[in-house]
Amino acid sequence: MKKMFIKGEWVEANSGETREIINPYNQEVIAMAAEGNEQDVKFAIAAARKTFDQGDWATTPASERGKIVHKIADLIERDREDLAELESLDTGKTVEESRWDMDDIAGVFRYFAEMADKDGGEMIESPIPNSTSKVVHEPVGVCGQITPWNYPLLQASWKLAPALAAGNTLVMKSSEITPLTSIKVFELMEEAGVPAGVVNLVLGPGDSVGAELSANDDVDLISFTGGIETGKRIMQAASSNVKNLALELGGKNPNIIFADADFETAVDQAMNAVFFHAGQICSAGTRLIVEDSIHDDFVSALVDRVKNIKLGSGFDESTQMGPLISKDHLNKVINYVENGKKEGARVAVGGGRPEDPELQNGFFYLPTVLTDCTTDMGVVQDEGFGPVITVEKFTTEAEAVRLANDSIYGLSGGVFTNDIAKAERCARKMRMGTVWINDVNLYFPHAPWGGYKQSGIGRELGKTGLEEYQETKHIFQNLKPEPANWF
């Protein structure tokens, strides 16, 4: 039985309830997890509040906190293979992808461990004679952190590492669908010497555990990664005590392919953009916007390659794409494509479930290319979150940028061209938090990550990722106090 971690102890849900954790490849139950409720999250928040207010984590020298965060990275590296296999069992993604995730995760902990003691504040010019003025950063306090199912541990690491480095205490609610690697990393944080009460993990559903965490007045900051509709609910709940808010929401990410791009690279990267983890990536490049002079050749080359993508178990080394996360999600993707067909999209390849008998117990959907798409279609505007790519055409650079920006989302996008000036012009005009030129889906710990428009508020990773977890204070000191005699 997988338990929650509250005040330094592994505990069952106070109600005694549990949840089955399912392998999306074959629907087998891989674990039972405690199913918490509002009461459990209240205990966890009280522990984090008391530890922040009365403990010494916030005032521990930043270099000491940094050492502990480094130790967490060491332990993740030590257990890399076990963690990768657990992530694949829980999410269905290939073990090779999970290994990359684990390397990235260790890198994120290292980056914020290094950052912990690099900020000594800043003296600023004081306009008053005989005085000093300085700006310092302090932890925000008790942080609520809510993560999604698609990159469970990666998304958790983007929140845990900076919160710890900055001296906060926290309560994390991991996705109820894929909690296993997060539970394991809380074990590693305990082993690394994080003091009791600093990090707390609650498990359970969003509408009770997540909602309480977002609304509770003892929480100072809420950091959420997930869908737009949930993000809006959290924003409302967080207004109760005007919490600091960081939202990483969805994306509907365009890749503009100009005729002068390296053709083979663009075809290859168009696939990388969307078919890793069966398209269940917030930054998946699900919208191709292709110059009309190469459109037909491009689609035909893409289809030739997409039809050969090998589906299967994430544990089989020849597998290139695993299943979707759940039956509900599979049904959503099926409906999304069916609606697209009704709107006039043409299925160039895929568009249904695979027939292979070995895949029937898993939540598999074929890699799919939809052509004849226009921006007014739901299939071009809605996130979808599956292995489905839509193709639109353009004739001018201005039209390409306009189509790319025609979205409520603004998480990421790409431009493929060999004209450097054109690439730069487009990148500047694209209203997105990240733009890749002749590449896709790259991110690293020191580059900020987040969305424009409804893709979110704030940035994770990089310097800004640490600043999310800090308050800024101005301290003014009068070095020659004397009465002003105004009154």
**15 Cβ contact list (under 8 Å, min separation 6):** 35, 37, 39
What's the one-letter identity of residue 152? P
Site size toward ligand NAD (CB under 6 A) is: 32
Is 282 a binder of ligand NAD (CB under 6 A)?
yes
Residue (of 215, 67, 242) closest to 140 by Cα position: 242
Is 155 a binder of ligand NAD (CB under 6 A)?
yes
| Residue where the block lists tokens 């950063």 | 137
Distance of alpha carbon 154 from alpha carbon 158, whole angstroms: 7
Is 248 designated active site? yes
Is 24 a binder of ligand NAD (CB under 6 A)?
no
User: DSSP letters along 166-183, please?
Assistant: TT-EEEEE--SSS-HHHH
Piece in contact with ligand NAD (CB under 6 A), picked from 38-46, 80-88, 209-217, 435-443: 209-217
**What are the beta bridge partners of residue 221?**
143, 244
Nearer to ligand NAD, 238 or 373 (CB): 238
Q: Is 247 helix (H, G, I), strand (E, B) or coil?
A: strand
What's the one-letter identity of residue 294? I
Window 338 to 397, contacts with ligand NAD (CB under 6 A): 383, 385
Nearer to ligand NAD, 251 or 340 (CB): 251
282, 291, 383, 460: the catalytic one is 282
Which of residues 46, 106, 411, 415 is near ligand NAD by CB under 6 A?
411
Window 158 to 177, contacts with ligand NAD (CB under 6 A): 173, 175-176
Window 440 to 459, contacts with ligand NAD (CB under 6 A): 451, 456
87, 97, 248, 383: the catalytic one is 248
User: DSSP letters along 364-414, please?
Assistant: ----EEEES--TTSHHHHS---SSEEEEEEESSHHHHHHHHH-SSEESEEE
Is 64 designated active site? no
Is 248 a binder of ligand NAD (CB under 6 A)?
yes
Nearer to ligand NAD, 8 or 227 (CB): 227
Number of H helices, E strands in the chain: 15, 22
Minimum distance, C-beta of residue 428 to ligand NAD, in the bound complex (Å): 22
Quick check: 311 and 356 in contact, CB under 8 A? yes
- In the complex, which residues of this chain contact ligand NAD (CB under 6 A)? 146-151, 155, 173, 175-176, 205-207, 210-211, 214, 225-227, 230, 233-234, 248-251, 282, 383, 385, 411, 451, 456
Residues taking part in catalysis: 248, 282
